[in-house]
Amino acid sequence: MRHFLGVLVAERIAAGVVAGHRLTGPVNACPVEGDGGGRLDLAPAGEILRAIRQGVEMVARGRAISAIGVAVPGIVLDGVILEAPRLPQLKGVALRDRLREACGCPDVWVLNDSHALAAGVAASRGEVDRVVRVWNLGDTVGYGRHPQLGGLWEGGHCTVTLDPAERFCGCGGVGHLEGILGGHAMRLRFLDLEPEEVFALAAHGDERCRAFARLWHRALAAATGSSIHLDGPGKFYITGPMARFVDSRVLNDYLEETVQMSPLRGSYVEVAAADAEIAVLGAAIAAGRAAGSGRETAPAAERVPAAK
């Protein structure tokens, strides 16, 4: 049985080995050394790369690894990190090429962490042969798809309103989904309340918070409906710290309003638990699929052309 290795680079670095769509053992944390006190956002890019390499060696334990998948937050294209707001020191790093050399593995696949979550959720539910989409709700909003297609897929920055007052997205764009659902954006909007306090007050009848809770669910329904109209109906899972605020009944009611054409109806939306182990699993599965297809990136026709 072939072995694939998955790595998650997020608040921490974690790595594990996968065979047959299952982890073969525990996921290991890979500490980053240096003056940052173990925090990835304070560690130089070189230290992060060194920790990834050490993590790969630690979990591989001499086994032959067919491919390595590395999940990172940000925009990734052809193995290069184009944007990484949470880990800005990685912006512009050709991570695939650097890790090929450092780890001695020719098959390295670098992908967005939400795509890894989608693959991991699909595997954990026995759905690797189906299209699975994931909204990853936290301080930011990620969108993942399994199997991954070409393109950037920055679903958290899709536009759900043209209200000029909706300027809370960290990228500066107007009306973005992340500017409504993201925890950071919610704190900017309310200033004196944490997200859990907003939803608690909404449940107790505070009109301002109730209105926002409706907007929050409508925005998520709008973005989901847009995905359905572009990519077809199917399963959607909602993960991340903010997923606990989702009212599935309300969300599905709003979703029905957005999708009216009969061939596009019938999508399934569910809140699902997902953690570092799921992301590591998904990163390895994505690498295995890429290695099995004989390519590491989307076909040229599917890629987003570079701006001129």
Contacts of 24 (CB under 8 A, 6+ apart): 3, 16, 17, 18
pLDDT digits (tens, 9 = 90+) for 120-142: 999 999 999 999 999 999 999 99
pLDDT digits (tens, 9 = 90+) for 56-98: 999 998 889 999 999 999 999 999 999 998 999 999 999 999 9
Contact 210, 246 (CB under 8 A): no
Give the domain ranges of the chain: 4-113, 129-271
pLDDT at residue 304 is higher than 60: no
In terms of pLDDT, which residue wins out, 291 or 174? 174
129-271 CATH pick, 3.40.50.720, 3.20.20.70, 3.40.50.80, 3.30.420.40: 3.30.420.40
Look at residue 255 in the predicted model and tell me its pLDDT.
95
In terms of pLDDT, which residue wins out, 297 or 207? 207
The residue-averaged pLDDT of 180-203 equals: 97
Tell me the HSE value of 269 on the side-chain side, using a 13 A CA sphere.
24
Look at residue 33 in the predicted model and tell me its pLDDT.
74
pLDDT at residue 297 is higher than 60: no
Are domains 4-113 and 129-271 of this chain identical in fold? yes
Cα distances from 77 to residues 88, 90, 211, in angstroms, run: 16, 13, 38
The residue-averaged pLDDT of 22-38 equals: 81
The residue-averaged pLDDT of 255-276 equals: 93
pLDDT tier, 35 (very low <50, low <70, confident <90, very high otherwise): low
Q: Give exposure, 167-188, as e/b (b: 16+ Cβ within 10 Å).
A: ebbbeebebbbbbbbbbbbbbe
pLDDT at residue 148 is higher than 80: yes
Look at residue 308 in the predicted model and tell me its pLDDT.
32
User: Does residue 8 sit in helix, strand or coil?
Assistant: strand
Look at residue 14 in the predicted model and tell me its pLDDT.
95
Look at residue 39 in the predicted model and tell me its pLDDT.
84
What DSSP string describes 212-251?
HHHHHHHHHHHHHHHHHHHH-S-EEEEESGGGGG--HHHH
In terms of pLDDT, which residue wins out, 63 or 109? 109
Look at residue 164 in the predicted model and tell me its pLDDT.
96
pLDDT tier, 305 (very low <50, low <70, confident <90, very high otherwise): very low
Average pLDDT over the chain reads 91
pLDDT at residue 298 is higher than 70: no
The residue-averaged pLDDT of 160-179 equals: 96
pLDDT at residue 307 is higher than 50: no
4-113 domain in CATH 3.30.420.40?
yes
In terms of pLDDT, which residue wins out, 212 or 10? 212
**Lookup: tokens for 268:** 């399934």
pLDDT tier, 105 (very low <50, low <70, confident <90, very high otherwise): confident
The residue-averaged pLDDT of 196-219 equals: 98
User: Does residue 129 sit in helix, strand or coil?
Assistant: coil
pLDDT at residue 197 is higher than 60: yes
